[in-house]
């Protein structure tokens, strides 16, 4: 049997009970790979040690920071609502659904070597940073499966829209001054797009997506 994009589009709406009732539960707890940067450069946390230092004495970085995101899992995919599928060309269809919140929880750690310099001489050394929990989330947006048709239905890619928000909670409690510097390091476009790419890969490679494609084929075959 040869599948066409229009067949996939028509079958997608019949997948509504599964997409809205089961996909969320299957997707949550999917893992994302760790993100480890051993040579992250100056992430700006040493300056928070100054606290109004004396004269020309100021804290600055004394080597590359190390930065890790680990134990990352999809923990929420809420209020999933199927949207109408569309054909793109003679072999491609987009299968979208809306969500209220897509959330990934994990652990972060960062460490930046720091030093105080006086007239070119290093007079004090230290470290800035810490560890705790990290939440990265997208609210009120859309995920779209891009599928190819032919002798079978294959997943070409996954596209997730929306803005990624980052929240950090230190194990030490409170909000130490270096937290703002770390959030600033994590939220430039390149960092957030790297996270989005890993999130899209988690959906593309997840066993729940294989189940979805199998069900879609069965729906078309009748």
Model pLDDT, residue 29: 82
Token readout for 10 is: 């028509």
Tell me how far apart the alpha carbons of residues 100 and 81 are, in angstroms, rounded to a whole number.
Answer: 9
pLDDT-flagged residues of the chain (< 70):
51-56
Pick from 162, 158, 161, 168: nearest CA to 136: 168
Residues 6+ apart with CB under 8 A from 11: 216, 219, 220
CA 128, 183, 45 angle in degrees (round to 5)? 20
Decide: 40 and 64 in contact? Cβ < 8 Å.
Answer: yes
Identify the burial level of 22 via C-beta atoms within 10 angstroms of its C-beta, where 0-12 means exposed, 13-18 middle and 19 or more buried: middle
pTM exceeds 0.75, yes or no:
yes
Q: Give me the pLDDT at residue 63, please.
A: 92
Give me the pLDDT at residue 47, please. Answer: 84
How do residues 121-155 score in pLDDT, each as one tens digit?
A: 888 999 988 999 999 999 999 999 999 999 999 99
Q: Which of 141, 76, 133, 71 is nearest to 102 (CA)?
A: 76
For residue 163 the two structure tokens come to: 């803005």
214-218 LR contacts (CB < 8 Å, sep 24+):
215/15, 215/18, 216/8, 216/11, 216/12, 216/15, 216/153, 217/3, 217/152, 217/153
């Amino acid at each position: 049997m040869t599948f066409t994009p229009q067949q996939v589009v028509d079958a997608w709406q019949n997948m509504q009970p599964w997409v809205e009732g089961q996909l969320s539960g299957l997707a949550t707890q999917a893992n994302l790979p760790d993100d480890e940067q051993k040579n992250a450069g100056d992430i700006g946390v040493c300056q928070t040690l100054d606290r109004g230092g004396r004269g020309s004495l100021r804290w600055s970085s004394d080597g590359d920071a190390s930065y890790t995101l680990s134990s990352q899992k999809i923990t929420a995919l809420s209020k999933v609502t199927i949207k109408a599928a569309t054909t793109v060309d003679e072999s491609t269809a987009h299968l979208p659904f809306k969500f209220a919140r897509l959330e990934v929880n994990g652990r972060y750690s960062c460490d930046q070597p720091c030093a105080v310099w006086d007239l070119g001489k290093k007079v004090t050394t230290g470290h800035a940073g810490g560890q705790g929990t990290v939440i990265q989330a997208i609210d009120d947006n859309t995920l779209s499966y891009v599928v190819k048709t032919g002798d079978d239905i294959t997943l070409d890619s996954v596209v997730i829209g929306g803005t990624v928000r980052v929240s950090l909670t230190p194990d030490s409690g409170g909000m130490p001054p270096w937290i703002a510097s770390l959030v600033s390091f994590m939220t430039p476009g390149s960092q957030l797009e790297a996270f989005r790419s890993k999130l899209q890969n988690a959906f593309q490679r997840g066993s729940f997506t294989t189940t979805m494609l199998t069900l879609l084929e069965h729906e078309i075959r009748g």
